[in-house]
Structure 1
Amino acid sequence: MNTLIKETTSEQDVQQLVEDQRKYFNSNTTRSVEFRLEQLKKFRNLIKTHEDDLHEAIYKDFGKSKYDNQLTEIFPLYEELDIAIKNARRWVKHRKVKTNLMNQPAKSYLVPEPLGVSLVIGAWNFPYNLSLVPVVGSMVAGNTTILKPSELAAETSRAMAKLINENFDASYLHVVEGGIPETTALLAQRFDKIFFTGSPQVGKIVNKAAAPNLTNVTLELGGKNPALFTKDASIDVGVKRMIWAKFLNSGQLCLAPDYVLVHKSIKSKVLERIVHEIKKHNYSVENQNFVRIINERNFDRVVSLIDPEKVHFGGKANRSERIIEPTVLNNVTLEDDVMRDEIFGPIIPVVEYETIDEAFEIIKSFEKPLAAYLFSNNNKIKDRFLSEIPFGSGGINDAVMQINNSNLPFGGVGNSGMGRYHGKYSFECFSHFKAILDKSNFFESDLKYYGHSDRQMKLIKKLS
């Protein structure tokens, strides 16, 4: 593979790229498991070689440290690649299932096959993780792939384009950079799979664009993720875990706790512990445990959610540096602006409740969230939480860390998304499973053929 194309910006260029990828896919080259493994290993080696470049780019975008980048972006990508490389041969095999009595003698199995030409639209908040992990899923499933990174993280977009476009044939894997015009041009094409990570508002646009072609779509969106503390919660360790999860990436994380529900009997203790943890971590870009808000538009939006009269801690912001310090809001009601939409920034609204029924009703008053977290030692409440509250993924006595287990699928439900990926679920996300009945010619019953009789009816009833 040695074809390189110029940077694709026009609709005509995009259309030609998609046509070239479809032609390449139809050549059956990508279906070979050996080819898939070769490309995955090559991809891993390239990332390893260019780690420093990836660190530098993301720091330029919003001040993310090498440590946080390695932990939250590069390590998950390596893990996804290693799992794919280790399991590809097994995943592509036929999957046997039982054959019912009516179809005997026969074998039944599922045949995984790649969907075709895939479009992955990445997000800016974790630009490597949320762009390249889905690409790995598309590659191991045997597809060709076009990646459109977010233009908001311009340096990381440029770094991914350089890494991929200089080392892979555009007919197999290519990065298209740009903004709304380029994304619109891509969505005007017919794909076999579209994978989008972003907001519910844009997710609806993507889904609408895919509808005329009946394209298979996975949407990884967001929502107001609750963190519920019951009166018997282990406050010290619970708040410690919740605070880390909330201020990771300065709250610019779709899985972050969006608001905290606290039983009135422990609210003062929880607030005290929240402030303690924030002070202990001493969050700042200089300390390599905080990042800038991605741009001024998002900075202004997040700052507008801070009600000065309800600030319990923090509240300061520096627009020129795009820094909003960790902020705790107390005595928050559901009518406050901060409770209307997903915050996506370093603000913690604390909402008081009296009964667990009231807390559950508050959670269910919002759209189904991408994640939900319960901090409790009460088994009955745990059972109710799991059975009554709809959400994509979550944790009990922890937050965000469910995404670190590739044996658990990651995905939303309802307004927070559709479809799932990570580990084997990434392979399945970008695959179709053909259902096959493989019938023997050794014997053929007359039961299904015409000339029905009472005897046939008796046999059919026995088989029913």
Structure 2
Amino acid sequence: MEFTPLMDRQRQFFRSGVTLDLARRKQALRDLLREMERREDELLSALHADLGKAAFEGYMTELGMVREELRFHLKHLDHWARDKRVPTPLSQFPARSICHPEPYGVVLIMAPWNYPIQLSLEPLIGAISAGNCAVLKPSAYAPACSHALKELLAACLPQEWVTVVEGGRAENQALLEQPFDYIFFTGSVAVGRHVMEMAARNLTPVTLELGGKSPVIVTADADLPLAARRIIFGKLLNAGQTCVAPDYLLVERSVQEKLTGLLQQEITHFLGQTPLDHPDYPRIINEKHLHRLEGLLAGGRIVCGGTVQNGRIAPTLMDNLDSNAPIMQEEIFGPILPILPFDTLEEAMDFVSRRPKPLALYLFSRDKGIQHKVLTRLSFGGGCLNDTIVHLTSPHLPFGGVGESGMGSYHGKASFDTFSHVKSILIRGSWPDLPLRYHPYSDKKDRLLRRVLR
């Protein structure tokens, strides 16, 4: 594929200075918001076509979040884009120092299939706010959403500013060979490594939003009915196809049986006695991923669920698992929850810390000492106390991973910062021009220098 002409058009548009105008940026965001509102039914229909998402879930987890992000940027963009005055050392007197945020230029945003609207548009909002031109590459696994995004953005923004490229691996590879000024990728760890390797060829900076096995820790003092409800909410959202979904449950052994029963009750409360027949239960994206999930059911006892029908897999709880079981070796990305007991908090923390750093961690405990210990001693991207998932809905909280779960962050101001380079500028006065730094050097100058720089 040949994307050089596209890149040339976008670079020419960027050089014109149009995207540097704050008023134009804000108008672009308003146009996107208005067009999203006008096309709401089309976007929700695309989500249902690709993933079987109910309209309520589609709005709650995708369209509503994007609209809130747009309004947040419109409210704060003037302040974020302003030059920031910082102190100037005495050695530079007379002068003043400022930090000036500027856009990188032409950026590439590669989005996944699991939240195809949200995970395409949220980083794009940051790119536009910061003044960049962007190429958006949605996932080919969600073709209805990919096409809807292309039509949405073509209707409200010039293609020289934002272009949507559809297609699969060939298009991905061809785009990665282009010398973008920044790459923002959301997806698997394996593909993230490849993206970083390709970016390194052009010394292109990257943000990688990856995944991993995000644990839930439940101690005996927790509010168990509340924990069960919120764990099942987080696990069944999008049928578990969520990068921050609870991936496995570590529960204090003394309450394991009670919590397991409560989890089963909540599954029934959410989806009835036959979840696979519920019209609001999303399906697995394709047969390949469905077969992968079926293969993960080996190596433990299925407490409930495990059945497959019409592209869906029933909510499944598993226990009696060995730490080497297949389901403990990779991110599940489906509605299966392994349950592992622990006897001491140290044992649970050691289990987590010996594995790659997770994108999210969730702790259910009312003990402030336990809360402090877990939050300060375990490394993870972000998470919740006594809830799951919802930390990523706040535009005030940066969202991102650490270690193998990713690098960089976005949402709210963090999105603006991610797509901005901070240009440091020292503005000197012309008088007085102190002779200390100039030749010829002398002992007197040396003594003065050491008094100023010490």
- TM-score (normalizing by structure 1): 0.94
Moved more, 443-452 or 78-87: 443-452
Question: How many angstroms apart in 1 are the aligned matches of 2:442 and 2:382?
Answer: 52
Give yes or no for the alignment of 1:145 onto 2:134.
Answer: yes
Partners of 1:107 and 1:437 within 8 A in 2: yes
CA contact (8 A) 1:125 1:253 kept: yes
Equivalent position SS for 1:265:
helix
- Within the alignment, does 1:230 sit opposite 2:244 as a pair? no
- Which has the larger displacement, 27-36 or 220-229? 27-36
Deviations 1:404-429 (A, max 9, x none): 11100000111111110000111111
Match of 1:351 in 2: 340
Q: Which stretch of the first structure deviates more once superposed, 375-384 or 446-455?
A: 446-455
Corresponding position of 2:16 = 27
Q: Which has the larger displacement, 306-315 or 383-392?
A: 306-315
Q: TM-score, normalised by structure 2?
A: 0.96
Structure 2: how far apart are the matches of 1:126 and 1:462?
A: 56
Equivalent residue, structure 1, for 2:247: 258
The one of 157, 163, 171 aligned to 1:182: 171
Is the 8 Å Cα contact of residues 308 and 315 (structure 1) preserved in structure 2?
no
Mapping of residues 87-166 of structure 1, within 5 Å: 87-166=76-155
Q: Given that residues 58 and 64 in structure 1 are in contact (C-alpha distance below 8 angstroms), is that contact kept between their aligned partners in structure 2?
A: yes
Compared with structure 1, are the counterparts of its residues 100 and 161 closer, same or farther at alpha carbon in structure 2 (3 Å cutoff)? same
Contact 2:300 2:320 in 1 (8 A): no
> Does 2:397 align with 1:386?
no
The change in CA–CA distance for 1:455 and 1:347 in structure 2 (over 3 A counts) is: same
Code of the residue aligned with 2:149 in structure 1: it is: M
Q: Deviations over 1:141-193 (max 9, x none)?
A: 11111110000011111111122234432211111000001111111111001
Which residue of structure 2 lines up, in the alignment, with residue 243 of structure 1?
A: 232
C-alpha deviations, 1:67-108, integer Å up to 9, x for none? 111111001100111111112222111011112222222211
Choose which of 270, 274, 282 in structure 2 pairs with 1:291. Answer: 282
1:284-433 aligned at under 5 Å gives the runs 284=275, 287-307=278-298, 310-318=301-309, 321-433=310-422
Alpha-carbon RMSD: 1.5
Is the Cα contact below 8 Å between 2:297 and 2:327 reproduced in 1? yes
The one-letter code matched in structure 1 to 2:244 is: L
**Alignment partner, residue 6 of structure 2:** 17
Letter in 2 for 1:261: L
The Cα shift of 1:314 comes to: 1.1
Residue type at the aligned position of 1:225: S
| From 192, 195, 216, the counterpart of 1:203 | 192
Pair 1:60 & 2:60 matched: no
| Matched residue, 1:4 | none
Match of 2:442 in 1: 452
- Cα distance in 1, alignment partners of residues 277 and 21 from structure 2: 48
| In 2: Cα distance, 1:361 partner to 1:289 partner | 38
CA 1:289–1:104: 2 relative to 1, 3 Å: farther
Alpha-carbon deviation of 1:442?
3.1
Q: Paired residue for 1:50?
A: 39
Residue-by-residue CA offset, 1:19-57 (whole Å, 9 max, x unaligned): 111111111111111111111111111111000000111
SS for the counterpart of 2:437 is coil
1:142 & 1:286 partners in 2: Cα distance? 47
Q: Distance in 1 between matches of 2:445 and 2:18?
A: 53
Structure 1 regions of 5+ residues with no counterpart? 1-10
SS in 2 for 1:447: helix
Report the CA distance between 1:233 and its aligned residue.
1.5
Cα distance change of structure 1 residues 111 and 77 upon mapping to structure 2, 3 Å threshold: same
Give the SS at the match of 2:62: helix
Instruction: Give structure 2 stretches of 5+ with no counterpart.
Output: none
Query: Number of residue pairs matched?
Result: 451
- TM-superposition CA deviations, 1:363-385 (whole Å, max 9, x none): 01211111111111222222221
Partner of 1:7: none
Q: 1:279 aligns with which of 255, 268, 284?
A: 268
State the one-letter code of the partner of 1:315. Answer: G
The Cα offsets for residues 321-379 of structure 1, whole Å up to 9 and x where unpaired, read as: 11101000012221111100000000000011111111111101211111111111222
Shift in alpha-carbon separation, 1:285–1:190, aligned structure 2, 3 A: farther
- Matched residues in 2 for 1:443 and 1:238: separation? 67
Letter in 1 for 2:83: H
Is the CA contact 1:64–1:288 (under 8 Å) kept in the aligned structure 2? no
**Cα distance in 2, alignment partners of residues 165 and 38 from structure 1:** 15
* Identity of matched residues, %: 39
Q: Which amino acid aligns with 2:193?
A: K
C-alpha distance in structure 1 between counterparts of 2:11 and 2:438, whole Å? 43
